[in-house]
Structure 1
């Protein structure tokens, strides 16, 4: 089967020095809503029809959905896999497999990808698509360092027709999520090389997206994203809280983080909560800039837009976070029957470490879904040039109001032989996800509010 590849060619901007870089022209923007969707994806089906045409996404909840219950039933629960990719037949699908998934298939004899019917289920409210159309001709990259910030964009995809890797990654950072996510009882587990399973800290979390808070309109200042995280268990860590602010222009304001420790009864700045600093509460298996596959400043890597490709990636994984732990975690990898893969078009961005920069990775390859603008896979390479860690994001679109939830993710460490998955069933049952189109608990998003009691 022929793979569709769109190579980034003459339109790619050569970024250098300080200042702002031009948005697309009005003529280029006319593709949006015609050959492209309003948010920049190809509207047409793939040549073989396996990827359908986009027809507006899924905006009608299934019959068993209960609004504000925190549970999101699988609208495709009756479907069966169309095919399974294994180590034995992976050669037939090699052009649709990332180096990361190929490495997992080769490493683990019983690893497989169960591939289901592709659904283009991502839904955008009209106000978001209208803002995206505006952003297309007004958004610009700014900053003293390439990719440091964005101006001229609000409430929509900033660069629906990306011309370089920095724009594509900012599209991922500013993808459409609801204004507020509240997650209760977010568990996770780490499986070591011997198959032993360890529960990771159970969290309550709120993410607030000022970039998608309509009260700001075009006048957003400060961070585009704010994350509040509080540990529930184990008892030795209970009450520890982190607050992270991500800047829309790192040349003006850097990422700011705070940490609260109950044993000390004090809140303090946490300047190390970024880049390749290991997240201690996750046993060091996750770097701070690997949240949601990639999060933070891009100044240590050169980001190159390789193009677009049809690839088999995790998608529509409504079931995964609701399953019992024993139905998810195997001794070497996540149980294949717990995961849904589909074929989608993804943007491929290659990030190479700058000669004068330091990071645990020498290269990262990011795969960005064209419909949701979420990073669905991140492959990280060590300084020996070998593939080191494979990150997979098991997203699912929200059929009640639009947007995507993409915090069920994990990484496989090919050197140590361990893996982990977050947003899974915790000690008190499956996690509950609630969304809102406005901020409901502003008091938590201050250093003084961090010792709060958590979600209710």
Structure 2
């Protein structure tokens, strides 16, 4: 994909990055939200072909699953009657080259068993009305601050529904609406080339302060956008390892605060290594701390460039990958692609290049963001030689009973090792609790994680 000037990008507005804040979005542009643009800033119209118009998304339990839906179980697939329209594999990938990311081209070329079953495109993303209202207000008031390392004045929804540059886009992904208080139990599986794995089970919880309905602006958050605890509970040799994170909103003022409890030492220590390119927790060295959720943390080690918007086949509405057992899902080299679903959607593609004088194992990162949600759905990660090293794949899914548009599992394919990491797996478990009202910010202390980790 050729780099595209911001001035030429169809949905960009005039503005240049100077100092610590972006120019405000003109009122005429803001008024497009909910008109020819969706409330989240995507093109509402379809492409006259495979991509339909957005008509509100899937915001409630559809009739197709009314009889089998339960609030205590994983969401049924509302599109199980859909048929595969075509399958892309190594033999025919050349026909679809312009609609494949570089990551998918590499996976198709590297693994003869990798394939992409393509289905009808369904623009299911939907959010509560108060999120739409917040997004429109953010378009008027939100600003980058701290040299692009923070966001000011916005609240609740993505800060820049009409984005001016790559930094605003990565902040849209970082601060997108994911509920206010939530708890879950998820599984991570580092899979060997031969298909062996040991499941790692984690109980985590979060208070996303940016989504606090009682707050009216970022200035009320005491520079904390997120409180987070992750407690590893299995296998036995890893159980009791707990991490605590206070994610700062303006990293120019203060770096992420993190602590870790180790059952071996029975001590809580500050953990500045839970950031950037340090190995990710429970990743078996297959991912970095800042790669979880596609990307997290400070953007300051990279220069961010917008490559443009294009139509790509991306993993979308892949409910069956969550409903399968681990035995059915986790296979050698890659997950069971018969369970995956791909659709044609418009994505924004941004590129991060390591700044001179900075260190990171990834010299270049290319990120693909779904236009309807600004959620990262895929990425290519390049090593110090400029060679493609790892590919991230993150299916977009609609939590239609909440409603919320987010990700399913996170997959990291290490092309050089022939291994992969499957993260955030909900299979064989309970659904995420998006209404964890019992959580309180006072709980997120080093003393609290010491008590969690004792076994």
Report the TM range for the smaller structure's normalisation.
over 0.9
CA contact (8 A) 1:213 1:437 kept: no
Q: How does 1:50-449 map to 2 (within 5 A)?
A: 50-61=50-61, 62-63=65-66, 64-67=68-71, 69-143=72-146, 145=147, 147-184=148-185, 186-193=186-193, 195-218=194-217, 219-406=220-407, 408-424=409-425, 429-436=428-435, 438=437, 440-449=439-448
- Cα 1:444–1:390 change in 2 (3 A) is same
CA contact (8 A) 2:224 2:249 kept: yes
CA contact (8 A) 1:320 1:424 kept: no
CA contact (8 A) 1:200 1:281 kept: no
- How many aligned residue pairs are there? 443
In the TM superposition, what whole-angstrom CA distance separates every residue of 1:257-295 from its partner, at most 9, and x where no partner exists?
A: 111122322222100100000125321111000011100
In the TM superposition, what whole-angstrom CA distance separates every residue of 1:330-383 from its partner, at most 9, and x where no partner exists?
A: 211111112111111111101111111111011000001111111000110112
C-alpha separation between the residues in 2 aligned to 1:438 and 1:24? 35
1:442 to partner: Cα distance? 4.0
- Cα 1:260–1:249 change in 2 (3 A) is same
SS in 2 for 1:207: strand
C-alpha separation between the residues in 2 aligned to 1:157 and 1:196? 38
1:423 to partner: Cα distance? 2.6
1:12 to partner: Cα distance? 6.1
Q: Which residue of 2 aligns with 1:9?
A: 7
CA contact (8 A) 2:187 2:426 kept: yes
C-alpha separation between the residues in 2 aligned to 1:383 and 1:181? 37
C-alpha separation between the residues in 2 aligned to 1:157 and 1:420? 28
* TM-score, structure 1 as length reference: 0.92
Q: Which residue of 2 aligns with 1:451?
A: 450
Range moving further from structure 2, 161-170 or 313-322: 313-322
- Cα 1:280–1:400 change in 2 (3 A) is closer
1:7 to partner: Cα distance? 5.8
1:205 to partner: Cα distance? 1.1
SS in 2 for 1:410: strand
SS in 1 for 2:105: helix
1:425 to partner: Cα distance? 5.8
Flag structure 1 segments of 5+ consecutive residues without an equivalent. none
- Cα 1:406–1:444 change in 2 (3 A) is farther
CA contact (8 A) 1:85 1:114 kept: yes
C-alpha separation between the residues in 2 aligned to 1:124 and 1:45? 20
CA contact (8 A) 1:182 1:206 kept: yes
Flag structure 2 segments of 5+ consecutive residues without an equivalent. none
- Cα 1:273–1:453 change in 2 (3 A) is closer
1:431 to partner: Cα distance? 4.5
C-alpha separation between the residues in 1 aligned to 2:281 and 2:176? 27
In the TM superposition, what whole-angstrom CA distance separates every residue of 1:400-440 from its partner, at most 9, and x where no partner exists?
A: 122234251011111111111113367xx335322117463
1:141 to partner: Cα distance? 0.7
In the TM superposition, what whole-angstrom CA distance separates every residue of 1:166-222 from its partner, at most 9, and x where no partner exists?
A: 0011011111111122112x12222223x1412242111112211111022323333
Q: Which residue of 2 aligns with 1:44?
A: 45
SS in 2 for 1:430: coil
* TM-score, structure 2 as length reference: 0.92
1:453 to partner: Cα distance? 4.7
C-alpha separation between the residues in 1 aligned to 2:437 and 2:132? 18
In the TM superposition, what whole-angstrom CA distance separates every residue of 1:7-65 from its partner, at most 9, and x where no partner exists?
A: 6326464435x4222221112212211111111010001132x1111111111213122
C-alpha separation between the residues in 2 aligned to 1:130 and 1:95? 36
